[in-house]
Amino acid sequence: MKIYTITCHDVYNHGASLQAYALMKYLNNMGHNVQIINYKPSYLSNHYKIFKIANPKWDQNVFSRLIYLLLKVPMRIPELKRKKAFDNFTSTYLTLSPERYQSNEELKDKLPFADVYICGSDQIWNTVFQNGKDPAFYLDFAPKQSIKASYAASFSTEEIDQQYIPFVRKAVKSLDTVSVREKSGVAILNKLGIKDAIHVVDPTLLLSMEEWNQIAEYEFKEDYILIYDFDNNDLIRELAKKISEKKGLKIYSINPGKVNYADKYFKYVGPEVFVSLIRDASFILSNSFHAAVFSVVFQRNFAIVNRKESINTRMRDFLADIGLEDRLINADFNIKALLKAIDYRKSESILQGDIRKSKKYFDHILFSTKMENQKENL
């Protein structure tokens, strides 16, 4: 079948790129013709603009703008290496629609027909961000005769701001089938009167470890702790230094910035290196959902810390689902317990059951589509 997916696929974030790839790859493995809609509205198109005035205080006159750019441009130019790494990943691994779209209306006017449209995964329904308020990420543009489904869409929060509830309720109800990535997402939809939503795994978990090894083309042989920290978190810093001293491990950081205590920095690398670094790490410390997921994929030892932003249901729900809630830590952490190798037998058994359930969801979507097409052809 012809399938289009839509997600935040090109925002220069490792998890976002990898989940977009995983959903496309899994559906391709099933024998379908899949493209990711190259949807880049203005609010998702502001990355790596060298001459952007990001601070309104400096956007007052020609002189202030010139001073700002003289200070900022020299720092921004090296960051283009990271953009190039992500762009290479996109061109190599993601099959995008030939045309780029910038609005829901443009999608309505120009998008070619497909049998099935799938929105997801990742934080596409997080109304803290603009994408959660964009009807395109609820498949508003899809033709009525097609099947519209979400896969592992995430709100990433405990609840939706009251002002967005009517929009979200109406948008989600327009879908033929609904699945979300967190159990907290199911609870949100239940409160909105949407009772048939199911909980599924992130698409990165639909692919096997062997398939991810094909992406992880780099090999790191030194023993190290990997840091992936969005907040320059004090707890992550403290724990990294303690583990480093106790185990004699180097500290590697894959952050584009903020972390300043590592032995090696991987600031300008793409998703292939991210996967490789997690696979080969002795220990992973992060506040990233996908760092947790790939730690589990490769059965590494890890600990996760909550983010400052209120988007922590992702990590909490995932770890609780597979019986690893003790890996979400706070200041009362027990370093001896954390350094003990994780016994993945129970978690793997639970996870494989969740993966089987998630794959059956696709069978439901695509079988329904096939039956509808057969009825139309009678």
First to last CA, the chain: 18
Contact between residue 119 and residue 146 where contact means Cβ atoms under 8 Å apart: no
- β partners of residue 33: 2
Tokens of 24: 């496309």
Torsion of CA 254, 256, 257, 259, to 10 degrees: 0
Q: Does domain 212-342 have CATH number 1.10.274.100?
A: no
**Among 270, 254, 253, residue whose Cα is nearest residue 262:** 253
- Cβ proximity of 324 and 342 under 8 Å: yes
Beta bridge partner(s), residue 228: 286
218 DSSP 8-state letter: -
Separation between Cα atoms, residue 188 and residue 182, nearest integer Å: 10
Query: What is the dotted CATH code of the domain comprising 2-47+81-206+353-377?
Result: 3.40.50
Inter-residue contact 206 to 358 (CB < 8 Å): yes
Per-residue model confidence as pLDDT tens for the chain (378 residues): 999 999 999 999 999 999 999 999 999 999 999 999 999 999 999 888 888 888 888 888 998 989 989 988 988 898 999 999 999 999 999 999 999 999 999 999 998 889 999 999 889 999 999 999 999 999 999 998 899 999 999 998 889 999 999 999 999 999 999 999 999 999 999 999 999 999 999 999 999 999 999 999 899 999 999 999 988 899 999 999 999 999 999 999 998 777 899 999 999 999 999 999 999 999 999 999 999 999 999 999 999 998 776 667 888 999 999 999 999 988 888 888 899 999 999 999 999 999 999 999 998 888 765 445 444 443
* pLDDT for the residue 368: 61
pLDDT of residue 108: 95
- DSSP 8-state code for residue 164: G
- With beta carbons less than 8 A apart as the criterion, state whether 330 and 234 touch: no
Q: What is the DSSP code (8-state) at residue 177?
A: B
Written as six digits, the tokens of 18 are: 């990898």
Q: In this structure, are residues 312 and 288 in contact, taking their beta carbons and an 8 Å threshold?
A: no
Q: CA angle, corner 237, sides to 235 and 238, nearest 5?
A: 65
pTM of the model: 0.93
Among 314, 351, 315, which residue's Cα sits nearest to residue 208?
351
Point out which residues pair with 264 in neighbouring strands.
252
Q: Go through 232-246 and write b for each residue having 16 or more CB atoms within 10 A of its CB, e for each that does not.
A: ebebbbebbeebbee
Nearest residue to 201 (alpha-carbon basis) of 214, 183, 187: 183
Residues 6+ apart with CB under 8 A from 64: 57, 58
What residues does CATH 3.40.50.2000 cover in the chain?
Answer: 212-342
